[in-house]
Amino acid sequence: MASQRFRIEHDTLGELRVPADAAWGAQTQRAVENFPVSGRHMPRGFLRALALIKARAAEVNADLGLLHAREAAAIVAAALEVADGRHDAQFPVDVFQTGSGTSSNMNANEVIAHLAGRRLGRPVHPNDAVNCSQSSNDVIPSAIHVAAALALKQDLLPALRRLEASIRRKARSVGTQVKTGRTHLMDAMPLRFEQELSGWAQQVRHAVERIEATRPRLHALALGGTAVGTGINAPAQFARRVCAGLYRHTGIRFRPATNYFEALSSQDTAAELSGQLRVLACALMKIANDLRWMNSGPLAGLGEIELPALQPGSSIMPGKVNPVIPEAVCMVAAAVIGNDAAITVAAQSGNFQLNVMLPLVADRLLDSIGLLANASRLLADRAIDGFRIRADRIAQALQLNPVLITAANTVIGYEQGAAIAKRAWRENRPIVEVAAEETGLPLAELRRMLDPAQLTRGGVGGRRKRR
């Protein structure tokens, strides 16, 4: 550090030293020195969204006569470089910073101004030019929405559709296999694998629908509200025209918020989306835990399926293979649920005209989206696509399942059925044999009445026809 070279920069608080090779300026440097909290910087998706807003804003400001065309073009070119990730090292501000995200907004303003100035061969002002018609208070909430909308469109929703397709494809391939159902982790009436997997697929489908329902509110931007929602220093057409420019770049139809006072002071939409992500996390944890239970064993557990062997499972027990993908998915779900708790608290922190936990919202919301997208792809590609059914193990358990007697309730009554089930369990014998001895009903009739395959009709699109 003693040999590091510095230059002198200034802001309204005075002069300070900035690393000579840094593209940022005084306000960014103050933030670096003020917030040595986590070492965790603002997410790539957020920086991309922020830079896209700066680029489109410069175009509109030039069209409105607020910036010279050459200066605006230099700002656009610099901002798009930032959006593409070419200058991520120039964004050192910690997530845990000023609650409005002003430090990150000024970081972007300073870096883009510096890069644009190189192109022009003269200084570009970070506030007067790059931040023209904007405030941190409307840009940062807008960047959160743009970043989340892009992450949903490009990452999470395709991953969820891939997962649903994987589950449905597996259901078709193993559909006729009948297995023992379980409630309370105890043996219950039988069902087909396709029926069990259809429940998983529907959970994923509903998660997609819930997220899709939130997107219209996510596409409403605070941009144009500037400092407190009154739109001071922003031309009337500025926000609408920036949204149109964002559509050309992203394919998403953003629009100015209906009410800027809500858009600046609340993070209700982020909280809503986070809640939908939490529900998805619950669904993925249920699916992953079902896979873990079904794979348990191979001898002392359920042993219904065999997940792909991806890596050795123990540093001391040779030959052990663990359900590593479902375990990773469960940890992702736990992390997302924790992120939702943080976002819930942050969303409550709208004091009068501004929410003051915006960087935390941005970080945790994008973290959840990315984690869930990656986990969904892993679950599809490395667990569901490749698991194998252990049909012999399933048939053995099914034959001895005493709960099958439930199907005879209308003929022999609940009390006698319970007695038969208990005896069959006690003697470890097929339920059909014990029922024949206890009821005197013909064995052929009992086999038909208690046929597991016949007992699985219904549950997916109505009752199945007999064949």
For residues 170 and 168, what is the distance between their CA atoms, to the nearest angstrom?
Answer: 5
Pair of tokens at residue 46: 């957020």
Query: Does the active-site annotation cover 184?
Result: yes
* Kind plus residue range of the DSSP H or E element containing 331: helix 324-347
For residues 224 and 236, what is the distance between their CA atoms, to the nearest angstrom?
Answer: 8
For residues 435 and 437, what is the distance between their CA atoms, to the nearest angstrom?
Answer: 5
Contact 17, 7 (CB under 8 A): yes
Whether residue 256 has a cis bond before it, omega within 30° of 0: no
* Kind plus residue range of the DSSP H or E element containing 12: none
What is the chain's Cα-based Rg? 30
Pick from 280, 282, 267: which is nearest to 362 by CA?
Answer: 267
The per-residue b/e assignment along 16-30, b for 16 or more CB within 10 angstroms, e otherwise, is bebeeebbbbbbbbb
Query: Does the active-site annotation cover 100?
Result: no
Angle at 222 (CA atoms; ends 217, 227), nearest 5 degrees: 155
Alpha helices in 221-267 (DSSP H): 238-250, 260-265
Torsion (CA) 55, 59, 64, 65 in degrees, nearest 10? 100
In 260-327, which ranges are E strands? 305-306
Contact 418, 406 (CB under 8 A): no
**Phi and psi, residue 296, nearest 5°:** -60, 145
CB atoms under 10 Å from CB of 334, counted, come to: 12
**Phi and psi, residue 180, nearest 5°:** -80, 125
Angle at 222 (CA atoms; ends 221, 224), nearest 5 degrees: 110
Pair of tokens at residue 417: 């059925």
Length reported for the chain: 467
CB atoms under 10 Å from CB of 113, counted, come to: 28
> Of residues 184, 206, 265, 274, which has the active-site annotation?
184
Which residues, at least 6 apart from 1, have a Cβ–Cβ distance to it below 8 Å?
none
Place of tokens 């970081």: 107
> Of residues 3, 314, 368, 376, which has the active-site annotation?
314
DSSP 381: I
For residues 244 and 56, what is the distance between their CA atoms, to the nearest angstrom?
Answer: 9
| Catalytic center residues | 184, 314
